[in-house]
Chain A
Amino acid sequence: MATRSIPRTDLGASHEGFLRHRRFLWLKVALILSLLALLGYALIDVQPRPNGGSAYGYALGTVAVLLILWLTLLGVRKRAMTRGRWSLKAWTSAHVYLGLSLVVVATLHTGFQFGWNVHTFAYALMILVIASGVYGIVAYARLPRQLGASRSDMTRPQMIDALVKLDRQLATAAQPLGHEEARIVQSSLDENAFGGGLWRRLSGRHSRCRTARALAEARRRLAVATGDRAQALEAVAALLERKAAALARLRGHLRIKALLEIWLYVHVPITFALLAALAAHIVSVFFYW
């Protein structure tokens, strides 16, 4: 009887994420590396206290700097996707776990001696890079689902299109309004849906949203308006409400996208700052040996 199982091809295997790659092979490697480092730290009695300048300290430092250089190479490696043993996925898996083991290796290298100096600065940068990387993994694991949901089955151009159409309708609907009211509507039209800088993107808080203000103002005026003006105001208020909803959807989407991207703006530039700080750390140590 013929088996129906699907042959395990390379493609089939690639359904496994980079974290579980080859049954956590790189997690195991990283754990062994960390344990060895800890073991050495516990067994080697450095006088008067553990420090980076002891023989073991130099050894840990060398391992750490080689790791950092290799981890940085992911930026080069990722631009060429391949499969197999040294696939990009394997590389990423190793990048994640070996990067995490660096916390152990480099912290032991410091001998827990910290200060306001170039050495601790390099360490702090490294921790920042690793922390942003950890954030990145968490973000990649959780946020893409939310990102899809936040679009409510619209494509990004459709989201923009909806706003543009609403703006156009608003401009038309506001024509009968007096100057004051027209200006209120105009302020909503002038608002850039994508404006507002980094903080607003990440927090999703737009407390000074001009559309929301215009809507509130339109409703206030509607309450006391009569006749044609009331009719026009009502139309404008309804449109503003729809625009506010469209904006909220877009901003929610932008927020998740920002949360998904922000870590790379820390991870990558700080990595290069770290390489520079490492150069300063190593040169300074031997300059004043």
Chain B
Amino acid sequence: MSFLIRTVSHSAEGREIVRTRRVEGERLTVGRDPACEIHLTDLAVALRHVTVERDPGRLRVAVEPGLSVELNGRKASVGTLELATGGDIVLGGHTLRFMPTAAGSDEIAVAVERTGEGEAKLDKSAERLFSLASVLPGKRGLAWLLALLVLAIGLAWPIKAYYDRRERAETFAKFHADEIWSSGSLSSAHAGLKGNCTACHVEPFEAVRDTACKTCHTKVHDHSNPYRLARARPDLGRWRRIELAFKEKFDIPPGRCVECHTEHEGPQAMPATAQRFCADCHGDLKSKLPDTKLPNAGDFGRSHPSFSPVVIAGWSGDRPQLQRLSLAARPREDSGLKFPHDLHLSGTGGVAQMARRLGGPYGFGQKLECKDCHDPTPDGARFQPVDMEQDCAMCHDLAFDRSGGTTRTLRHGEPAQVVAELLDFYRGRGAARPAVLAPAARRRPGDAPDLRNRIRFERGPGSADRAIRSIFSPGGACFDCHRVESPPDGGGSLNFRIRPVAFPIRYLHKGWFDHRPHATQSCSSCHSAERSGAASDLLIPDVTSCRTCHGGEGSSKPVPSSCAMCHDYHMDAGAPSMLIRQKVKGKRSDRRVAEARR
């Protein structure tokens, strides 16, 4: 009985070296102990790792307790090997291969081979091991990978999204890859267009056109005739010309909406237009457009023309003729009313006395104030036209008779009714002649020469004509405030007519003025009503008055005012967008005025 042990090793060149020896006996011990039949200098092998013992027809394999081997590819601590088929035992980095042996054979051949990792793991010549290349992927591969990845995500994907949008009108709520191209949030006004790139960017490689804007903005009017606008432009500097040449080259029409209304600049409102933007053309408009009706205008503090309010310059029949007239020409207004402001605002005299007497119920003080007659419009920006019944009648009442507890009043605004009323009154119907109205009644010294007393006094046969004529004549109730037209049929006719009265509600149509922000100021600081003796005095303050507080854009005045504070580029009906935004943001300049005054 013997084992033929063939130890297989490899030379540096890979040549196989086989050493053969014979071990007599029935048992074979394998381990790191030099006393073992098969001595393996493998630290993964125990000193006495496994014992192989011959049994008839097979080999019994017994592993040291607590250890194991791989027996024919299976982990085992005990087992058998059929001699007829042979088999493998793997322990540590070594394999024992038992060759198939004929049943009667005495000798069992075993090949011992190191199959695990080789001893010399480190190759001395491997300079590469020291380099990072041994632990990182190659730079070139990495570069290609990253570049392709970026191109795919940053370019191909969004372009695909663009064509997807064109083919299918998808909901905007869904994310589209082209949104990663957006260089910034849209303005707050256009926040609703977020993610809807193709609303403005219609064609690829075509700069945004005004047609895209006009699909929604159908009512914005041009600042002016585009040809005149083009002619009014200041001379192009060299840079502007270069810029224009570029634009022409790349088919970008000049003067697009987006040149001013820039987008993707963050969720902000459009900033107020800078003064320079307006002054570039308007500062010297006359030289560019000799036929323009507009005077040159630049900095508000230095070169703003006089205001040109719309005033009633005259009448065409009963229609007022409105006309824009420069305040520089000291225009007068023809409202059709007679009204001395100075008399009414005076602190002494009859009006003030009456104000004191009526006092409380009407909110009068020691004298009349502007607010006692002028009521603001609901928005507070302007004032309503004066209304006789509301604003004058508390003093100028038209009562002429008291019937029981009721005061009879002449009807204001209807002269024919007034005539009829008085005729009726004097005709004397039935018992309508109270004792107080006896002819004996006469004016008492100290009584106000009011309408009632006059009527009373003049009462008598044929006196109706006289009374009617007197109220339409100088000193009469109608005549004092109105322009009276004598009866056209002359002679004895009582067909008196009153000229109509009209007040513009807004004087400055091309600029915006709001009374509310000016509430900190007294009325008289701008309107010199206290010195006005005639209703035809136009009490609109001129630019010099405004300049007390307002200066140009860069001014040191309490309220630096660029053009945009009163004027809008596209619209002039409502409040300029700059003011609306200031109000929204709560940034008002009143405080600065108040502080400056202090």
Residues of A within 8 A of B (CB): 47-49, 51-53, 55, 113, 115-119, 121, 156-157, 160-161, 163-164, 167-168, 171-172, 174-175, 177-179, 182-183, 185-186, 189-190, 192-194, 196-198, 201, 253-254, 257-258, 261-262, 264-265, 268-273, 275-277, 279-281, 283-289
Contact = CB atoms under 8 A, between A and B. Distances in A.
Given A182-B43, A185-B43, A257 B131 contact: yes
Interface in B55-86: 64, 67
B265 A113 contact: yes
A186 B154 contact: no
A189 B121 CA distance: 10
A161 B124 contact: yes
B122 A171 contact: no
B130 A257 contact: yes
> Which of A156, A171, A269, A283 has the most chain B CB atoms closer than 10 A to its own CB?
A269
Instruction: Identify the interface centre among B67, B119, B139, B205: most chain A CB within 10 Å of its CB.
Output: B139
Given A164-B124, A280-B154, A283-B155, A198 B119 contact: no
A40 B55 CA distance: 98
A254 B130 contact: yes
Contacts of A287: 159, 162, 181, 201, 204-205
Nearest to B251: A289
B32 A175 contact: yes
Contact of B180 (A49, A117, A163): A117
B227 interface: no
20 contacts: A47-B262, A51-B262, A115-B183, A156-B130, A157-B125, A160-B124, A168-B119, A171-B43, A179-B49, A182-B32, A194-B129, A265-B132, A269-B143, A272-B144, A276-B148, A277-B154, A284-B155, A284-B181, A287-B159, A288-B201
A129 to B, nearest CB: 12
Given A197-B135, A275-B147, A280-B155, A48 B265 contact: yes
B127 interface: yes
Given A115-B183, A182-B44, A273-B147, A279 B155 contact: yes
B154 A288 contact: no
B266 interface: yes
Nearest to A198: B135
B43 A288 contact: no
Nearest to B92: A186
Interface residues of B, number: 68
A48 B204 contact: no
A38 to B, nearest CB: 18
Contacts of A193: 122
A178 B47 contact: yes
B197 A261 contact: no
A265 B150 contact: no
B158 interface: yes
A160 B132 CA distance: 17
A118 B265 contact: no
B43 A186 contact: yes
B122 A163 contact: yes
Nearest to A159: B130
B274 A289 contact: no
A126 to B, nearest CB: 13
Nearest to B270: A48
Nearest to A55: B243
A118 B180 contact: yes
A80 to B, nearest CB: 19
A179 to B, nearest CB: 4
A268 B139 contact: yes
Contacts of A116: 180
